[in-house]
Structure 1
Amino acid sequence: MKGLGRAEGAVHERLQDEVVLDAGEAPADWPASPARKLALALSQGESLIELFSLSQQRHTRTIHAGDRQVAELSLDVVEMHIGDELKTTFEVEAELAPDGTPDDLALMVADLRDKWQLQPQPRSEFEQGLAVLNVGG
């Protein structure tokens, strides 16, 4: 479960809890975890309804500055299944490693923007799916 968090330029910050589930499993049947606790609190015992589904194929590489691992760079192929519609997007994400700093992230953002002409995506994959759902495609 991911919070919507906030985005400032190319930097997104959000809370995230993960748990491995079988498809369609109700929160009450999830393994004990922070994600289960949050889902139960938010749903207040009501059934969850799937609005759309996201599947993601991730390709990762570590980024180093000298001998420090500063980040993990990911290229994601994201498929949004909304009703009978399939929308595919490509996302690049850099997640700071424990030794990474905001300055390291700023350098990566500048490099991706200047050398590769990539632009920040202000919305999360979930927000993009909601936008497609709300406009009917």
Structure 2
Amino acid sequence: MGHRCDNVYAINISKYDGHDRCFSSMHDQSWLWHRRLGHANMDLISQLNKDELVTGLPKINFQKDKVCEACQMGKQIKNSFKNKNFISTTRPLELLHMDLFGPSKTPSVGGKSYAFVIVDDFSRYT
């Protein structure tokens, strides 16, 4: 038993003098490596394990039928914002919509392959 202090669990070992003790931490290694490798696909991690391409990757079985919470949240479909039929801004430059995209296959006149688009919400000036 221990108590939590900030993000650390503290254990008073002195009260267990004279007793055999063993401290261990239980953690599923497959999910730990899934997070360490940037939430990589379990098939990919199994292939890395099979080909011994990652130093220190233990020989463990990776469960392919489960999805971690972060991966599930990242793959959920999000609803679009509803269209509005009025302009909610009252003056130019109050709200700007920006988008940076590229590289595009067709370069610009200046030879650039990236573009930065800015649209003013009030005037729709681009």
TM superposition score category, shorter chain reference? under 0.3
Q: Greater share of helix residues, 1 or 2? A: 1
Which has the bigger relative contact order, CA under 8 A and spacing at least 6?
Answer: 1
Q: Greater share of strand residues, 1 or 2? A: 1
State the TM-score, normalized to the length of structure 2.
0.18
Rg larger in 1 or in 2?
Answer: 2
